[in-house]
Amino acid sequence: MRRKLAALAAGIVAVTAVTATALAVTPGETPFPSPTIVSLFVTANTYTGAGGAGIMTSRFPAGATVVFNVFAADAKTKQVVTADNVRYAYIKIPGQPNVKLTYLAPTQRNGTNFTGTWTVPANYPLGIVDFTARFQTKDKKYGNFVQLPVETSQLTIVK
């Protein structure tokens, strides 16, 4: 039993050492969103209008239209996701139907390649909207976007 525990402990130490080396993360740091992105890289920004017509903001009143400008790419193959290789892409909003994202040919490096709109219902609760963007490609790679955990910068419904 003691021998088995020792072997297990040695294994854990070895795995930890390999992981720490591979990730090259300084102890005490918590890189956002995680030390490594193993599948799809996904970002989202919220705008008041589509196609560069609106302004970026995180604060919307009820009744306003939120435009999600989203970027997705494969963090391993470096390939930007396109309409041809995406299986699904949507924004998940608590208490709301999913917002389907449609492909938009990017006009710049790291630029928007998917977009979707959400009209905030009149009775939607005021406060932070904990939305996520979710992707799956046809080769079964997944990616999510979550907002930076700085409350005042998160999507918020205001009066």
Partner 1 sequence: MKRLLLVIGLAVAASAILIPSFAQAADPPKKLDVMLYVDTVNGSRPATGTPRRKVSCTQTNVFIRGEQQVFRVWGTVAGSGDVLTTENIKYAYVSVVGSPNLKMSWGSHGAATNKVWFWTAAWNLPADAPLGEATAKIVFKTEDDTFGTYEYKYTVVPQLNVTATKKVATVKARS
For residues 120 and 64, is the Cβ–Cβ distance under 8 A? yes
Q: Which parts of this chain interact with partner 1 (CB under 8 A)?
A: 23-26, 29-38, 41, 43, 45-46, 48-49, 52, 54-61, 64, 71, 73-80, 82, 106-111, 148-153, 156, 158
Between 6 and 76, CB nearer to partner 1: 76
Minimal distance in Å, beta carbon 144 to partner 1?
Answer: 13
CA 114 – CA 81 distance, rounded (Å): 9
CA 11 – CA 16 distance, rounded (Å): 9
DSSP 3-state of 129? coil
Minimal distance in Å, beta carbon 97 to partner 1?
Answer: 23
Between 10 and 85, CB nearer to partner 1: 85
Between 24 and 122, CB nearer to partner 1: 24
Minimal distance in Å, beta carbon 7 to partner 1?
Answer: 30
Looking at this protein, which amino acid is placed at residue 18? V
Question: What is the side-by-side order of every strand in the sheet holding 65-74?
Answer: 40-47, 65-74, 114-119, 102-103
Between 11 and 79, CB nearer to partner 1: 79
Give me the residues paired with residue 67 across strands: 47, 117
Q: What is the DSSP letter of 81?
A: P
Minimal distance in Å, beta carbon 15 to partner 1?
Answer: 18
Indicate left, alpha or beta for 147 from its phi (over 0: left) and psi (-120 to 50: alpha): beta
Between 26 and 123, CB nearer to partner 1: 26
Minimal distance in Å, beta carbon 123 to partner 1?
Answer: 18
